[in-house]
Amino acid sequence: MKRDRVTLTDVAAIARVDRAVVSRVINKDPTLNIRPETRERVLAAIEQLGYRPNVAARSLRTSRAHMFGLFIPDFANPVYAEIIKGAEAEAADQGSVLVTGSATRAGLGEYMDRLGQGRIDGLLLAGAPDEAGLAGQLDRAGIPWIMLNHRGRTVRRYVILDDERAAALAVEHLVRLGHRRVAHLAGPSGADTATRRSAGYSAAMRAAGLPEGPIVAAGYTPAGGAAGMARLLAAGERPTAVFVANVASAIGAMQAVRSAGLEIPRHVSIVAVHDLDLAGYLSPALTTVRMPLAELGRRGVTLLSVLKPDETVAEVLDGPIELIPRSSTAPPPDRS
Amino acid sequence: MKRDRVTLTDVAAIARVDRAVVSRVINKDPTLNIRPETRERVLAAIEQLGYRPNVAARSLRTSRAHMFGLFIPDFANPVYAEIIKGAEAEAADQGSVLVTGSATRAGLGEYMDRLGQGRIDGLLLAGAPDEAGLAGQLDRAGIPWIMLNHRGRTVRRYVILDDERAAALAVEHLVRLGHRRVAHLAGPSGADTATRRSAGYSAAMRAAGLPEGPIVAAGYTPAGGAAGMARLLAAGERPTAVFVANVASAIGAMQAVRSAGLEIPRHVSIVAVHDLDLAGYLSPALTTVRMPLAELGRRGVTLLSVLKPDETVAEVLDGPIELIPRSSTAPPPDRS
DNA sequence: TTGTATGCGTTATCAT
DNA sequence: ATGATAACGCATACAA
C-alpha cells in the first residue's frame, strides 16, 4: 500500500512528460496542443497512481479555494436542511464543496477565525446573524458574502423568498374555502420574514375585501403559537381560520385549539408557511405553503460565484410557491 | 479599505522583525526566546493589519488541513443534525472546522474527488455508505476514517451507540407499567442499528420472563411502520404495547392505530428510539429513549485525531441513555 | 508540441 | 534573541 502521497511530479515521471504538461491536461487547458498519444500516457499514469491534486498547493497558487461557506443558526431546524441541500448541489455543480457552520457553538466571528484566510471563496449567511460589524469584517477579509432569507438593515446584499406571495396563497386558500374571519399569528417582530408574511396577509385580506382579523405576535416557537392562539380564541368573535407564520408556531397553536375543547378543522382551520416533512405527520396533517428553500441555497452559491467584489444584490427569488392542502383546513362551520 | 490580503511579510515589516519570528509567535513556539517588547510589537502589528494566516500555505507546508469531514445520507434527518452538532463542537475545540457532505446528490466517491487531496485530516462516515472498496479508497488516499453508528462488515473502524441498552430501557418501561404482551416493530433487516435494537428487545423480554411478542420488520419509514402496525393489530392476540425501532416508523404506527379505531395509549402503548424534537409535537406526544447522538459525533472527531494510521477501533459509546416518558405510554387496559 | 522557471504564504532548520 | 533560506505542490507565462 502506497504510503507517500503522489504528486504531479510522480505522474510526470511515469508518463515521461513534464509536470507542466500533466497540469495542463488535468485542467483541460484549451491552449494546450498535445498529441493524443501523449495525453493517453498522462491519463493512464494518473489512473495508475490514483493521483488527485493537492488542494492546498492549488489553492495557494490560484487563490481559489473551491469551497463555499454556509453559516446557519442551527442544524436541527429543517428549514436550513433544505437550504443546505440546494447550496450543496450548486457547489457540487461547480466542482466545489460546501462547508457549513452553525451558531450553536459560537458566533460568526469565532467561526471566521477558525476558517482562517483563503479557505472559502464566499460565504452564505442564513438566518439573521448579528449584523454589527459583520459586513466590515467580511469585506476586510476580502470574502464575498450574501444574506439568505434576510434583508440586511444597512447593506444590500441578500436574496430572499417571496414571503408576501406565500402569505397571499395561504389567505386565498382560506377565503376560497369560505372563511371570512381570518386571523393571523405573526412571527417575532424583529424577524424580517415575519414582517413580510404579515404584510402579505394584510394585502391579501384587503384584496379579498375582508377586514383584517386580529393579528397577534406569536413568535416562531410552539410556546408562542400556543399563547397567541389562546388569545385569539378568547377574543369576542372567534376567527374561523388562522394563518400562522411558521410551522413551529402552528404546532403550538394546534395544541391550544385542542386545549380549548375545539377541533381542527371543524371549528378552526390552520395553515402555515414552509412545507416541512413534519407537517404531514401532525394530526391533523397541516396545510402549508411550500417555499423554494433549496432553490434559495442554490441561488446563493450561484450569486456568490458570479458577483463582482463590490456589486450589491437585492433579489426576491423567483421560484415556485405552492399551497399544499392537507387536513387542517376546511370550510368554516356554517352558523349563519 | 485594504484590498490586498495581508501576509506574514507585511506583519514582519511593520513589526521590524523577520517573518520567521512572527510565525513562531503566532504558533506559540515554546523554543522561541523572545523579549516581551518584541512580542508586543508583533502582536500589535497583527492586530493593526488584521492579519489572519493563509490556510492554504500553512496546510501545504504542514500537511495538516485543520478540517474534518463528515459524510451523512441526508441533512433532513434530525438524527444527523444532532451528530453534526457534536462533531462540530469537538472540531471547534481543536481549532478545526467541520465540512459536512451528504449523499443527497452523489456517492462518497464523487464527494472525495471534489474534496481533492489534503483537504481534510479525517473523515467520519455516518449512516451506512456503500462499503464496497470504501476502506481501500480512503486508505489509499491516506485519510483516517471512522464509521459512526454502523459496524463495518469487514473492517473494525467504528463507534456505535448502545442500542441494546436503549431497547432494554424501552421494554423495561413498558413492563413496569404492567404490559406483558409487548410486540416489536423492527427496523430494516439490513441496518446494523435495527439488528442491535431487536437484540436488545429480545434480551429484555427474556430478562423480564416474558414471551417474545410478535416481531415485525417495519423499516425506518412511516409507511413501513403503518404496515407493520396493521399486521400487529390484525394478529390473534393484540399486543398492549409496542417497542418501535425509530420515530419515523412510530409515526406511521400511530396512524395505523388510529385507523383501526383504537386509541394511544388507552389500547396500545408506543415507545420509540431517539428523542427528536418532533416526538414531543406528535399527538399523543411520543415516549422515547434518548441516545447521546451529539456525543457520538464528538467522540468520532476525537478518535480521528488521536488514532494511529493503522489502528482499529470498535467502540460502544458510553454515554447517557434515558427514557423520556410522554403521553404515548400508559398502563395496559385491564381485561383480566 | 513540450519543457523551464518562478512564485503563491507558510513553517522549520540552521545560522548568526 | 533574531535572521536567512529552503521546501511544500501546483499553475502559468514564456522559451524552445
Q: Is the pLDDT of residue B89 over 80?
A: yes
**Residue of A316, A38, A176, A102 lying closest to B294 (CA atoms):** A102
Q: Is the pLDDT of residue A130 over 70?
A: no
> What confidence tens digit (pLDDT) does each residue in B186-234 have?
999 989 999 999 999 999 999 999 999 899 999 999 999 999 999 999 9
Note whether A225 and A249 are within 8 A (CB). Answer: yes
Do the Cβ atoms of B119 and A97 come within 8 Å? Answer: yes
Chain C positions under 7 Å from a protein CB?
1-5, 7-13
* Distance, CA of A54 to chain centre: 31
Do the Cβ atoms of B75 and A84 come within 8 Å? Answer: yes
Helices A247-259 and A222-234: crossing angle in degrees, nearest 10, is 50
**Residue of A26, A62, A24 lying closest to B56 (CA atoms):** A62
pLDDT given at position A132: 63
pLDDT given at position B213: 85
Residues of chain A within CATH 1.10.260.40 domain(s) are 8-53
**Residue of B203, B290, B198 lying closest to B244 (CA atoms):** B198
Nucleotide closest to B63 measured between CA and C1': D8
Do the Cβ atoms of B76 and A85 come within 8 Å? Answer: yes
State, as a whole number of angstroms, the distance between the CA of B44 and the C1' of C15: 28
Question: Measured between alpha carbons, how far is residue B4 from residues A51, B51, B107 in Å?
Answer: 33, 11, 38
Residue numbers in A near B81 (CB within 8 A): 75-76, 81
d(CA B279, CA A278): 10
Tell me the pLDDT of chain B averaged across its residues: 92
Kindly report whether the global pTM for this prediction surpasses the value 0.75. Answer: yes
Section A210-217 average pLDDT? 95
Class in CATH terms, A62-161+293-316: alpha beta
What are the DSSP calls for B98-164, one per residue? EEEEETTTS-HHHHHHHH-BSS-SEEEEES----TTHHHHHHHTT--EEEESS--SS--EEEE--HH
CATH 3.40.50.150 is right for the domain spanning B163-291+322-335:
no
CATH 1.10.260.40 is right for the domain spanning A8-53:
yes
Residues of chain A within CATH 3.40.50.2300 domain(s) are 62-161+293-316, 163-291+322-335
Least confident of B102-106, B159-163, B196-200, B249-253: B102-106
* E strand spans, A22-178: 67-72, 97-102, 122-126, 145-148, 157-160
**Residue of A144, A168, A137, A169 lying closest to A158 (CA atoms):** A144
Query: Cell triple for residue B22?
Result: 512572527
Q: Name the closest residue (CA) to the C1' of nucleotide D12.
A: A20
End-to-end C-alpha distance for chain A, whole angstroms = 82
Question: Measured between alpha carbons, how far is residue A273 from residues A84, A135, A169, A226, A321 in Å?
Answer: 19, 30, 10, 16, 10
Quick one: pLDDT band at residue B153, thresholds 50, 70, 90? confident
Tell me the pLDDT of chain A averaged across its residues: 92
